[in-house]
Amino acid sequence: MKVFQFNGGRIGVTVGAQSYDLTEALHVDTQAWPPVQMVQFIANIDHNMPGILTHALTKKIDVTTVHLNVPISWPNKLLAFPVNYLAHGVEMKSINRADLNGFFLKANSSLSGPNDAIVLPDLPGREIHHECELGIVIGKGGRHISREDAYKHVFGYACLIDMVVRGKEERVMRKSYDTFCPFGPWITTSDEVPDPGNLQTRLWVNDELRQDANTKDLIVDIPGMIEQCSKVATLYPGDIIAAGTPAGVGPVQRGDRVRIEIQHVGEMTLIVK
């Protein structure tokens, strides 16, 4: 199943070849603040899904005709792992590693959707780079989650681009500009991803392949990330973990087209402004 937000916060799902609008059937208030509607949907999915596709208020839709929004607008946390591929550490000449340094946080407000532009801040002379990453969405929260139980806590996966201004300021600041975390185009639920530890991830800039790697080469794998994060902070439904970027990061300029594709998960193309 693919889960998405569209047309200003409506909630939809795709099951097989058919997509559905669940907004009225779930009594979702698209104007509610804070915008945690998708977080609530994820938290309550086991209760809400039985019978929902045949509910009188559920509507069939053509997903190609709607405006997709960022799938999760307001997670409790957006966590990210630095230098989680050895080759990326080599290219950046970095002494950091995900297994040594742990995770950091990006501002939730950096999240943007598949139809949003990546808006570059006005920083003359500074390079702004793309980083192709797998986004892991927590479904069942918890603390001190073991490796053995980690996948039981995953709701699904999405494409994620971790944009960053290169420089000496704190990493969190350089990665937290608005639109610096494109995420989407939907969340593919974990049952549709046969082996998250063996996913090819690719990123192109203007049709030039820049990044091409597999999650089997992660230094800290998905169970390890969930275990590590949950030792420090309670994980909640809708939390997002950015798995780290492989080698091939590079600068983008206004007018570029950036395309990310993750096997079994999805793809999206964004314009840089």
Q: What is the pLDDT of residues 162-197, one digit of tens each?
A: 999 999 999 999 999 999 999 999 999 999 999 999
Q: Which residues contact 186 (CB under 8 A, 6 or more apart)?
A: 2, 3, 4, 14, 68, 71, 158, 266
pLDDT grade, residue 90 (50/70/90)?
A: confident
- 87-91, 114-118, 153-157: least confidently modelled range: 87-91
Identify whether the C-beta of residue 48 lies closer than 8 Å to the C-beta of residue 112. no
Judge whether residue 246 has pLDDT over 80: yes
- 56-65, 87-96, 121-130, 208-217: least confidently modelled range: 87-96
- 22-31, 40-49, 96-105, 117-126: least confidently modelled range: 96-105
H/E stretch holding 171: helix 171-174
As given in the structure block, the two tokens for residue 52 are: 């929902």
pLDDT at 234: 98
Beta bridge mates, 160: 133, 183
Is 173 exposed, middle or buried, given 0-12, 13-18 or 19+ CB atoms closer than 10 A?
Answer: exposed
Instruction: Please state the rounded mean pLDDT for residues 152-160.
Output: 98
Max Cα separation, the chain?
A: 58
Judge whether residue 199 has pLDDT over 90: yes
Domains assigned to the chain: 2-69 (no CATH), 78-271 (3.90.850.10)
pLDDT averaged over every residue in the chain: 96
pLDDT grade, residue 250 (50/70/90)?
A: very high
Backbone phi, then psi, for 18, in 5-degree steps? -110, 140
Residues of the chain with pLDDT > 70, as a percent, come to 100
pTM of this prediction? 0.96
pLDDT at 107: 98
- 43-47, 89-93, 234-238: least confidently modelled range: 89-93
pLDDT at 96: 80
As given in the structure block, the two tokens for residue 109 are: 């407000």
The alpha carbon dihedral of 75, 225, 48, 51 has a sign of positive
Q: How far apart are CA 179 and CA 70, in angstroms?
A: 11
Identify whether the C-beta of residue 131 lies closer than 8 Å to the C-beta of residue 164. yes
pLDDT grade, residue 97 (50/70/90)?
A: confident
pLDDT grade, residue 91 (50/70/90)?
A: confident
pLDDT at 93: 74
H/E stretch holding 87: helix 86-92
pLDDT at 76: 98
Identify whether the C-beta of residue 182 lies closer than 8 Å to the C-beta of residue 101. no
